[in-house]
Amino acid sequence: MKRFKRHRDYGFFDQDIRLSRLTQLGDPLERLGREVDFEVFRELLTDGLHREPAGKGGRLPYDYVLMFKVLILQRYYNLSDDQVEFQINDRMSFMRFLGLTISDDVPDSRTVWNFRERITDIGLVDKCFERFLGELARLGLIVNEGRIVDASFVEVPRQRNSRDDNKTIKEGGIPESIAEHTPRRAQKDVEARWTKKNGVNYFGYKNHVKADSGSKLILRYVTTDASVHDSQALEALLDKSTDEGQPMHGDSAYVGKEQEQAIGKTGMKNHVHEKGYRNKPLDDAQKASNRTKSKTRARVEHIFGFMEMSMNGMYLHVIGKARVHAMNGLMNITYNMFRSIQLRAI
């Protein structure tokens, strides 16, 4: 009879051995937890979320930093609330990242949802983004040799509305059939919009970003619905106090008088691609200039490429612009964390 390798009896150090093996295999969460100091968020989270208990009873809340790390897990693996609860219970790498053992309680999906709703309502994600950006500056990772702007679609669940309801929503109203007081309102996104690009329809929002051209770190972000043209978010992305004197790179979507004025107002050097027109095509010198500019501008595509490939896409299971903006912020923070690890390894 053929013999097979038998299972060993459980040993005292078996879990440590398995975790050590995960590290050897290249667990990205082990490196993230080791190289990113999540304690930089503690004071900010505590000040924003702490509430004195109304009485002596009640459960103690989960540690705020632990819950913030759960949201980072969600964005890196693009998991729903139910999925992240299951994966924390199931995966040793998730438990190690969160500092949990097999005997610890795991936040359930409702707890994750409530925590994310709270930090969304008080705008805490934006503050966490700025706090981590300050940490990146302290570490000397922001190069300040130029800025790149671009946007990417963030899709959300497509809505099934009547033609009349869609017309009302497009005009900025809320149809009577899904008014504020009805249960359907919580399931309908009246702020997302349709748009088409290169023959493909998209429904949802956009994540507009400004990145440091040298380090490819995201410095600022703006959320709009998908129908807003990339150029319309430019002024909100620029900041004279940090961008003055910097070359500003962008594709031809950012060509226009208003955009030129926004760039000039911040004292930046305009390196936006030149745009050809039907009766006025680009000459050879302009084409050569665009090719040179593309070598820098294309670096922003690496950012969205990482989000699409390494972070499992940019499709969100949330409804409403405020929630999408918070999720965009968490996505941008997560990207900056992994990019900072790459930069420190160079």
The answer to the question of residue 287 being in a domain is yes
Do both 118 and 204 map to the same domain?
no
Domain match, 197 and 339 both: yes
Residues 212, 299, single domain; the answer is: yes
* Residue 213 CA neighbour count, 13 Å, CB half: 19
* 200 and 341 assigned to the same domain: yes
Segments forming the whole domain that contains residue 29: 14-51+59-122
Is residue 138 one of the residues assigned to a domain? no
Question: Residues 116, 148: one domain?
Answer: no
105 falls within a domain: yes
Domain presence at residue 309: yes
Q: Are residues 40 and 107 in the same domain?
A: yes
Specify whether 202 is located in the same domain as 338.
yes
CB 11 within 8 A of CB 87: no
- Pairwise CA distance, residues 43 & 62, whole Å: 15
Predicted TM-score (pTM) of this structure: 0.90
Residue with tokens 């994750």: 112
Token pair 């702020």 is found at: 191
Residues 6+ apart with CB under 8 A from 161: 169, 175, 178, 188
The token duo for 171 is 């005009």
Q: What is the pLDDT along the chain (346 residues), one digit of tens a residue?
A: 567 666 565 655 567 777 788 788 878 999 999 999 999 999 999 999 988 776 666 678 899 999 999 999 999 999 999 999 999 999 999 999 999 998 999 999 999 999 999 999 999 999 999 999 999 999 999 999 999 999 999 999 887 776 777 777 776 777 766 666 566 566 788 889 999 999 999 999 999 999 999 999 999 999 999 999 999 999 999 999 999 999 999 999 999 999 999 999 999 999 999 999 888 899 899 999 999 999 999 999 999 999 999 998 789 989 999 999 999 999 999 999 999 999 999 8
Q: What gap in Å lies between CA 205 and CA 223, rounded to an integer?
A: 7
Q: Give the total number of structural domains in the chain.
A: 2
